[in-house]
Amino acid sequence: MDYPKIYVNFAAYSSIEKGNLIVRKHGILNIRDFEKLDVGEIVDVYSKKGRFLGRGFKNPHEIRIVTLKKEKIDENYVRNKIIEADKYRKFLGFKDAYRMVYTQSDWLNGLVIDKYNDIATVQIFNYGFELMKDTIVETLLDLGIDSIYEKSTGRNRRRAGLKEQEGLLCGEKTETIIKEGNAKFKVTFGGQKTGFFLDQRDNRLELEKFIKEGDRVLDVCCYTGGFSVHAALKGAEVVGIDLSKKAVELAKENMQLNGIDDSKYEFRVGNAFEIMEEMIEDGEEFDVVILDPPAFAQSKKDVKNAVRGYHLLNRYGAKLAKRLLVTCSCSHPIEPMEFKAIVIDAALKANKWIRQIGPYRTQPADHPITSKGTEYLKCLFFKVDGF
């Protein structure tokens, strides 16, 4: 079958060649032809000179390329790709809680599925998959999922020009308890992201190696207590900070779920910068400081302000840390080496000498990295010394 042909400029062509499978409107040459098409219609993308680049769906403000082949995109395609993605995770050893589908890395550009035992969350930011939602649900049911919750919200949904949608698609369960090493966590829908930050799993487990009995740990932007629980299970006393009262309440529940005495932890709701500044003024110190903020930069235009934010956060973090600084960024536009340079300079400004421990760490294998556009998480462990 012949699909409408959309021609793109050299910049878009070059971007696709590097693995970025999203074409913005400003990269389309025959924009009038694009505008005439129905949202969700399948299109073929070509270079100006007529080279086939990929096949995908029209969205209001972009094209999401789904395949680089001239293959049929239909319900069977979606079903088979979801099954293949799940098999791949199981091959890697993932069992109960993992990212089942990670957008273009699984040839389902604009679809994210997270599995938590027998419940799953679905994010859709490609109108073509919006039209195949029933197929997605049926496939997940066949794979043993009982309840499915849609959380099609946030920047990617809005940027695609699609209305946000949230709610149960199937079943009744909206929470479950998952295991992560020796830790247990309650996962519930309605909070940030898709219920839990699965992408920090390996880094949370790595943290346990560095915690000593009686350590005082500061967990900044703690969300539902992922790092906090792992630190407390190793005998640390934890102070967590988060702007969300709802997240903090769930963090407390997770501490209780793991049998941690309430004398061993404290959670504060508020602005992390302001609270950390007060701690510094009060002369507080922590053996270990963990910084895991939300993305400060969503696009290149945000980078300048993001750099300032990361620098200040890490200066405060280094100032408060006596032995270990664990610092993270999920801002895709911030390059790994740039982030490391920010952290090192911030520590020097705090009169701290830091030494990197181990390699630069990123997201786990259930969030497969297939191109620059699919790698976003940066996590660094540093030994901290004063001078």
CATH number of the domain bearing residue 80: 3.30.750.80
Determine the straight-line distance between the first and last CA of the chain, rounded to whole angstroms.
Answer: 69
Number of domains in the chain: 3
Residues 219 and 301 grouped into a single domain: yes
Classify 111 as helix, strand or coil. strand
| Residue ending a domain, choose from 122, 154, 173 | 173
The rounded Cα 103 to chain-centroid distance in angstroms is 12
Are residues 229 and 354 located together in one domain of the fold?
A: yes
Structure tokens at 137: 């649900």
Residue 150 contacts by C-beta under 8 Å, 6 or more apart in sequence?
121, 122, 123, 124, 133, 165, 166, 167, 168, 169
Instruction: Say if residue 337 is in the same domain as residue 188.
Output: yes
Clarify whether residues 169 and 190 are in a common domain: no
My answer on whether 166 and 202 are in the same domain is: no
> CA distances (Å), 28 to each of 24, 34, 59, 107, 128, in order?
7, 8, 13, 22, 19
The CATH number that applies at residue 9 is: 2.30.130.10
3-state SS track over 31-74: HHHHHHCCCCCEEEEEECCCCEEEEEEEECCEEEEEECCCCCCC
Residue type, 260: I
Residues classed as catalytic = 330
* Location of structure tokens 């993270």: 328
Q: How far apart are CA 55 and CA 70, in angstroms?
A: 7
Does 267 share its domain with 363? Answer: yes
The answer to whether residues 241 and 291 belong to one domain is: yes
Look at phi and psi of residue 312 and say left if phi exceeds 0, alpha if psi is from -120 to 50, else beta: alpha
Range(s) of the domain holding residue 345: 176-386
266 and 356 in a single domain? The answer is yes
- For residues 10 and 280, give the distance between their C-alpha atoms in angstroms, rounded to a whole number: 51
Distances (CA, A) of 238 to 31, 198, 223, 385: 55, 21, 14, 21
Q: Closest Cα to residue 217, out of 107, 296, 325?
A: 325
CA torsion through residues 161, 164, 169, 173, sign = positive
Residues 336 and 382 in one domain: yes
Q: How far is CA 169 from the centre of its chain?
A: 22
The tens-digit pLDDT sequence of the chain (387 residues) is 789 999 999 999 999 999 999 999 999 999 999 999 999 999 999 999 999 999 999 999 999 999 999 999 999 999 999 999 999 999 999 999 999 999 999 999 999 999 999 999 999 999 999 999 999 999 999 999 999 999 988 777 777 778 888 899 999 998 999 999 999 999 988 655 556 899 999 999 999 999 999 999 999 999 999 999 999 999 999 999 999 999 999 999 999 999 999 999 999 999 999 999 999 999 999 999 999 998 887 777 888 888 899 999 999 999 999 999 999 999 888 899 999 999 999 999 999 999 999 999 999 999 999 988 889 999 999 999 977
Q: Does residue 330 share a domain with residue 190?
A: yes
CA–CA gap between residue 235 and residue 200 (Å, rounded): 21
Q: How many CB atoms lie within 10 A of CB 309?
A: 18
341 and 290 within one domain: yes
Work out the number of other CB atoms within 10 angstroms of the CB of residue 368.
18
Which of 16, 47, 67 is the last residue in one of the domains?
A: 67
